[in-house]
Chains A and B, each alone.
Chain A
Amino acid sequence: MTQFFAVMLVPIIACLLLAGIHGYLGIHIVSRQVIFIDLAMAQIAALGAAVAMLFHFEFNSNATYFFSLAFTLFGALILSGTHFKDSRIPQEAVIGVVYVVSAAAVILVLDKAPHGGEMVKDLLAGRILWISKTEILTELIVYSLAGIILALASSRIHLLSQNRGLAIAKGMKVFWWDLLFYCLFGIVVTISVRLAGVLLVFSFLVVPALISFLFVDSFKNRILLAWLIGGAVALISCIWSFFTDWPTGATVVVTFGCSLILAGAIFWMLNNLKTRAPG
């Protein structure tokens, strides 16, 4: 048991933190129907790191972090600038374009960079099992700050995610609120992806949100249910991964997949029982 805690305590805490912030952000993302935004943001941050390599900055230097951050904020600007009133272009398509173009640009930039190509790819792979205590601390601080700002702005951002038309009618400056949301989202996701990888972060964002959309309707309850599911899946899959010795990140993602199937089955049964009961 001591061995279990020695290896798994830090990954479990990291996963619970991930479940916390992404459970909340996920509800917004699914409401806004911008599901793949985290992939686009992570990829743009990786492009920033790759460009920093091109200028011969060390991979773990502050300069590289700064490049990543600057690119992420630029991505946030693009995404809030392309949320048009008359949705001539679906925003999901813009997100897709941002993703593929920055992924391809990474390849081009690395072709010219002398070293470190593998390290940039590493940015997206994550290593939940190998997180250090300082990283956990950074994670905690960044998530808390983002969480506090989101909580302060919550009424506006909730309205914007749920009923964009009403928000515009009320005269809200949607571009600036969008920009705030996507900047915070970008910063959080960039850090998360570095620690946990794109697959894991995507699962933490989307799967708890989907399940809570199936079962509850109010914004608050959805967030609570998403936290519950994210935390439970994180805990179960980390324990499972330890005793089977399966790679941890992949185990968590597949467990999320299974939990969605299970939730779908329960939803179906509940609905069938409801319709049959009166007859």
Chain B
Amino acid sequence: MSFKKIFGILLAGVFVIGAEFSAVAGPKKLNVVASLPDLASLARAVGGDHINVSSVALGVQDPHYLEAKPSYEINLSKADLLIYNGLSLEIGWLPLLVQDSRNPRIISGAKGSLCASTALDRILEKPTGEVDRSMGDIHPEGNPHYLLDPRNGLKIAALIRDKLSELDPSNAGDYSKNYAQFETMMNEKIKQWESQAAALKGMKVITYHKEWEYFADWLGLNIAGNVEEKPGIPPGPQHKQWLIDKIKNDRIKIIIAANYDPSISTAERLASETGATLLILPAATGGEPGINDYPQLFDYIISKLLQAQGGGK
């Protein structure tokens, strides 16, 4: 066999394999990458079979800090749409990732770059006046943990519907249909969660980080204080004493931490010194085994809170 023949066969093989790949793929699916697993879950609900979705961060990872991995970049370089939380939550890692992916479709301002926070009509804790580093690791645009209010999740799902329809008009009808289904389901769920959590209304809690403000705002929980007075900086001696006094005087029974919070041992210590219960909760989809989508996250959190409240009595 001559060299030419072998080369010809190899070349033909490459073409056949290539053709097969495109045949399997069928009509091209949109590649959607979300920075956070909650956003990925929302995109999956709206996009259905028309899109491939993946999330950069896992539910067990702190979205403030993420260790870069090669797969992140590869994923982003193939993305048609990037959905991110915004309000500076991912500022430590996402801008660099986008830059390194060299994907013009998803750079800031491009059609394929979607900041989910633009769907919100109300942002909590937006600082007034000057912001500086002396306030700790504070977010100048306001508290970014808005996905812990499912009503916000619904608004973002609508935003994703509009964006997907813009990028892929041929399937716009399906996106609207999927969204409408999701909306009906979520509205029912929200009503159900609200009635379950009626018992939690006005309950005083201490939280580790300022992560639960939207959640508390939704269900009427009363956050009496944070273990980390300034996010990212360990508490000083007087703040420690203040926390202990506060928990004892107000008979606070529950301290909430997200399962990816740093220095959870500090919160453990506070709980054991005061007799309060430390409740370590997942704060994102995938944060515990069994939480496979965004609605299941709230099922889990609310049932844990109710359990802890019942146990504390």
Residues of chain A at the chain B interface (Cβ within 8 Å):
3, 6-8, 11, 107, 111, 114-115, 117-119, 121-122, 125, 127, 129-130, 132, 241-242, 244-250
Contacts and interface: CB of A to CB of B under 8 A. Distances in A.
Interface stretch (B16-24, B174-182, B193-201, B238-246): B238-246
Contacts of A122: 262-265
Contacts of A107: 67
Interface string B52-74: 00000000101000010100000
B95 interface: no
A121 B239 CA distance: 23
Given A125-B263, A129-B235, A245-B236, 13 more contacts: A111-B67, A115-B259, A118-B260, A118-B261, A122-B264, A122-B265, A125-B234, A129-B237, A130-B270, A242-B238, A248-B236, A248-B237, A249-B234
Contact of B60 (A114, A129, A132, A245): A114
Interface in B215-273: 233-241, 259-266, 269-270, 272-273
B241 A3 contact: yes
B140 to A, nearest CB: 23
Contacts of A241: 236-237
Contacts of B266: 127, 130
B265 A119 contact: yes
B241 A6 contact: yes
Contacts of B259: 115
A8 B69 CA distance: 43
Contacts of A248: 236-237
Contacts of B60: 114-115
Contacts of A8: 237
B269 A130 contact: yes
Contacts of A129: 234-237, 240
Contacts of A125: 234, 262-263
B36 to A, nearest CB: 17
B269 A7 contact: no
Given A107-B67, A118-B260, A130-B270, A245 B265 contact: no
Nearest to A242: B237
A32 to B, nearest CB: 33
A11 B233 CA distance: 18
Nearest to B261: A118
Nearest to B238: A245
Contact of B236 (A114, A121, A127, A247): A247
Contacts of A130: 240, 265-266, 269-270
Contacts of A119: 264-265
A112 to B, nearest CB: 12
A246 B265 contact: no
A189 to B, nearest CB: 19
10 contacts: A8-B237, A115-B259, A118-B263, A127-B263, A132-B272, A132-B273, A241-B237, A242-B238, A246-B236, A247-B236
B179 to A, nearest CB: 34
Contacts of B235: 129, 247
